[in-house]
A = this chain, B = another copy of it.
Amino acid sequence: MLKITMAQMEVIPGHPDKNAATMLRMIKQAKEEQSAVIIFPEMAIPGYLLGDTWEQTSFLADCEHYGQEIIAAAQGITVMFGNIAMDWDKTNNDGRVRKYNAFFTAQDGRLITPAGQDYPYVIKTLMPNYREFDDTRHFYSLQQLALEQGKSPADLIAPVHITIEGREYRVGCLLCEDGWSDNYALEPFEVLREGGTIDFFVNISASPYTLGKNGKRNRVFGEQAQRAGKPLFYVNAIGLQNNGKTVYTFDGASTAYNGKGMVCAMSQEYQEELTSVNLDELSTLPSLPEDSEPDIAHIYRALNYGVRRFLENIHMKKVVIGISGGIDSAVAAALYAKIVGPENLLLVNMPSVFNSATTKGLSKQLADNLGCQYAVVPIQHSVDHTVEQLSTTPITYLTDGSTQNLTVSSFVTENIQARDRSARVLAGAAAAFGGGFTCNANKAETTVGYSTLYGDQSGFLAALADLWKHQVYALAHYMNDVIYGREVVPQGIIDIVPSAELSSAQNVDEGKGDPIKYPYHDHLFRSFIERWQKAAPEDILEWYATGTLEENLGCEAGLVAKYFPTAQEFIADLERWWNLFTGMAVAKRIQAPPILAISRRAYGFDHREAQNGPYYTLKYRQLKERLLQA
């Protein structure tokens, strides 16, 4: 009977002292529960997303110190954990001290060296460098080490032999990406499997939540276990980590797969817990039922956990939200109310002359439904003052003494309103209320910069900026139906046309609103950012020309012909948004708040920006010409 414990801990990035304390507590508990082996996640001590904190020597030495505390605590139990491993006499390729992303196994206060190897730990072989990952910036991989030593990388991949109560177990130790090797020339799992001696595999991970990933992981890791005919333990962290601009929840979901590839045990998502299984019983355990929850339930859970932990991290207990009577701010209000409580949530409606009685009423109705703090702060006086001050203050050209006055156009006034709301009212109210104010932008707006910088683009966190508009609506329904069990987001807000209400051209009572046609543009924009090989106008136009656009975008059939009767209109629309997406929207996203990631491609660090302006390929220009002549 070998009792193995998956220690799904919360890893607090950049705080090795706290993480080591958690680990010591869990080791103690696992020993009390007669566990023989306890497994912690990848980078359990330092955390994983640390930015360039990896360049602070004193921090690295500190992680090493806490690692030694964990090794010393491995008495009467075998402890497996991830930490940074230092090779102080060598350098990385950047000239900085050598760092490995490493998997440690400790017994009787000492490390166990992988069979036949020099280093007393397993070094990560595959270094992800896509999406939010930046491994090669900081860590020296096993492949580089092999090159340095003039060896084949496979020669450096070896099992760890642990002896428990007189029996030897050979463990295949993997670090996260080592198990996702589809596209790599070297597959660490296969090297270990082909060795033919492994008793069980352990994959320690620091794997952020992504919608749909756990299902994929069960297929990939289940197949691995099945192929080897041996159990595999996947141990992931929970918590919140970020690389500044993009914030990731870590959902845990640590899983034990038996030798048939079945999911036999799983830790609860986002819960710190020890999940133990007996190795010998794994093959006879029933498979857990497959996940049957809708996507929106997963999204809500990630958002709720992410926002809660983000607020705790920055010690923010009170939140201010500007509510317009539209869907985004309403959903944000319903989300935050569950987290900080209605007494700590201040909703502020800030009407100008362009705001309808309809949306003002809906705002109040939303606030009533939530029972939170509520205020109405009109902005017209301030906006009028700004317009008047700007247009009447003389500007003197000091070279010749001539003076002029500025002309404030209606477009300029639209943005003055938006900034007045956020940078004047909300920022001031939040500071006085003792909290922060939110950015309620969705992903479609973020894609094309349909927002005002220092206006509705601002806030301490953009919790909904990785949700397309249709997902925001789905979240409204889900919260009403499941989370609150009553109509919190008023049906009127769900039904009303989305509008910024910044001018009479956006009058909701006349059905006028945003220029974004969400049922189509949600999907068009998604193809720009979320496709693995990103779509650009050339792809879109080719699909349009061949009649496969809706199918390729995944939007409703017939929409394109309905919105754009002619090729000319279609192309004008495409270029309008592409120019914004790769133009002004880049400038806005550079200064946008952190975004909570849920999709497989969030804005921020996940999608690297460059303010290079729009570009159209030669093939696009040729196809466009052909279509316009037709």
Interface residues of A (CB under 8 A from B): 13-15, 17, 47, 49-53, 55-59, 61-62, 65-66, 91-97, 126-130, 134, 136-137, 143-144, 147-148, 153, 182-186, 241-245, 247, 313-314, 342-343, 346, 367-368, 370-377, 381-382, 385-387, 389-391, 393-399, 406-409, 411-412, 415-416, 419-420, 422-425, 427-429, 431-433, 453-455, 458, 460, 532-539, 586-587, 589-594, 607-613, 615, 617-620
Option from B130, B408, B455 in Cβ contact (under 8 Å) with A94: B130
Whether the Cβ atoms of A534 and B56 lie closer than 8 Å is yes
Closest Cβ–Cβ distance, residue A175 to chain B (whole Å): 15
Known: A58-B617, A427-B454, A533-B97. A394 touches B370 (CB 8 A): no
Closest Cβ–Cβ distance, residue A109 to chain B (whole Å): 19
Known: A94-B183, A375-B394, A398-B370. A613 touches B14 (CB 8 A): yes
Report Cα–Cα, A420/B61, bound state, in Å.
46
Report Cα–Cα, A617/B397, bound state, in Å.
56
Report Cα–Cα, A56/B615, bound state, in Å.
11
Whether the Cβ atoms of B617 and A59 lie closer than 8 Å is yes
Known: A58-B619, A342-B399, A375-B395. A183 touches B612 (CB 8 A): no
| Nearest B-chain residue to A411, judged by Cβ | B431
Whether the Cβ atoms of A611 and B62 lie closer than 8 Å is no
Whether the Cβ atoms of B243 and A608 lie closer than 8 Å is yes
Report Cα–Cα, A480/B52, bound state, in Å.
38
Whether the Cβ atoms of B397 and A343 lie closer than 8 Å is yes
Known: A65-B618, A242-B610, A412-B428. A395 touches B590 (CB 8 A): no
Interface centre among A382, A420, A611 (most CB of B within 10 A): A611
Option from B65, B396, B458 in Cβ contact (under 8 Å) with A375: B396
Report Cα–Cα, A367/B395, bound state, in Å.
12
Q: Which residues of chain B come closer than 8 Å to A186, judged between CB atoms?
A: 147
| Nearest B-chain residue to A371, judged by Cβ | B399
Interface centre among A134, A398, A425, A591 (most CB of B within 10 A): A591
Whether the Cβ atoms of B382 and A244 lie closer than 8 Å is no
| Nearest B-chain residue to A14, judged by Cβ | B612
Option from B144, B376, B396 in Cβ contact (under 8 Å) with A393: B376
Q: List 29 A-B contacts (CB under 8 A).
A: A17-B618, A47-B612, A50-B610, A56-B534, A56-B536, A58-B537, A58-B617, A58-B619, A61-B619, A93-B126, A129-B136, A129-B137, A144-B185, A147-B185, A244-B609, A314-B611, A314-B613, A342-B397, A372-B398, A373-B396, A374-B395, A381-B385, A386-B424, A406-B429, A407-B432, A408-B432, A412-B432, A415-B431, A427-B454
Whether the Cβ atoms of B367 and A454 lie closer than 8 Å is no
Q: Which residues of chain B come closer than 8 Å to A59, judged between CB atoms?
A: 536, 615, 617
Whether the Cβ atoms of A534 and B412 lie closer than 8 Å is no
Whether the Cβ atoms of B432 and A390 lie closer than 8 Å is yes
Report Cα–Cα, A532/B374, bound state, in Å.
50
Closest Cβ–Cβ distance, residue A365 to chain B (whole Å): 11
Option from B13, B95, B420, B592 in Cβ contact (under 8 Å) with A591: B592
Report Cα–Cα, A595/B144, bound state, in Å.
34
Option from B377, B408, B416 in Cβ contact (under 8 Å) with A389: B377
Report Cα–Cα, A534/B129, bound state, in Å.
23
| Nearest B-chain residue to A420, judged by Cβ | B424
Whether the Cβ atoms of A432 and B420 lie closer than 8 Å is no
Option from B372, B455, B539 in Cβ contact (under 8 Å) with A57: B539
Whether the Cβ atoms of B147 and A137 lie closer than 8 Å is no
Report Cα–Cα, A61/B542, bound state, in Å.
14
Whether the Cβ atoms of B61 and A368 lie closer than 8 Å is no
| Nearest B-chain residue to A52, judged by Cβ | B608
| Nearest B-chain residue to A460, judged by Cβ | B587
Option from B144, B370, B381, B607 in Cβ contact (under 8 Å) with A52: B607
Q: Which residues of chain B come closer than 8 Å to A423, judged between CB atoms?
A: 419, 422-424, 454-455
Report Cα–Cα, A589/B591, bound state, in Å.
9
Report Cα–Cα, A313/B614, bound state, in Å.
11
Q: Which residues of chain B come closer than 8 Å to A454, judged between CB atoms?
A: 422-423, 427, 454, 458
| Nearest B-chain residue to A419, judged by Cβ | B423
Known: A611-B244, A611-B313. A428 touches B399 (CB 8 A): no
Whether the Cβ atoms of B375 and A95 lie closer than 8 Å is no
Report Cα–Cα, A409/B428, bound state, in Å.
10
Interface centre among A385, A399, A427 (most CB of B within 10 A): A427
Whether the Cβ atoms of B415 and A610 lie closer than 8 Å is no
Whether the Cβ atoms of B619 and A182 lie closer than 8 Å is no
For the complex of A and B, 10 pairs with smallest distance between CB atoms: A423-B423, A244-B609, A51-B610, A14-B612, A58-B538, A371-B399, A62-B617, A94-B130, A148-B185, A51-B608
Q: Which residues of chain B come closer than 8 Å to A613, judged between CB atoms?
A: 14-15, 313-314
Whether the Cβ atoms of B591 and A458 lie closer than 8 Å is yes
Whether the Cβ atoms of B424 and A424 lie closer than 8 Å is yes
| Nearest B-chain residue to A377, judged by Cβ | B393
Whether the Cβ atoms of B13 and A532 lie closer than 8 Å is no
Whether the Cβ atoms of A398 and B368 lie closer than 8 Å is yes
Report Cα–Cα, A587/B587, bound state, in Å.
18
Q: Which residues of chain B come closer than 8 Å to A242, judged between CB atoms?
A: 610-612
Whether the Cβ atoms of A373 and B385 lie closer than 8 Å is no
Q: Which residues of chain B come closer than 8 Å to A129, judged between CB atoms?
A: 93-94, 129, 134, 136-137
Closest Cβ–Cβ distance, residue A153 to chain B (whole Å): 7
Option from B62, B391, B594, B610 in Cβ contact (under 8 Å) with A244: B610
Closest Cβ–Cβ distance, residue A103 to chain B (whole Å): 20
Whether the Cβ atoms of B381 and A533 lie closer than 8 Å is no
Known: A52-B607, A406-B429. A147 touches B136 (CB 8 A): no
Report Cα–Cα, A168/B435, bound state, in Å.
73
Q: Which residues of chain B come closer than 8 Å to A460, judged between CB atoms?
A: 587
Report Cα–Cα, A262/B343, bound state, in Å.
73
Known: A591-B593, A608-B134. A367 touches B398 (CB 8 A): yes
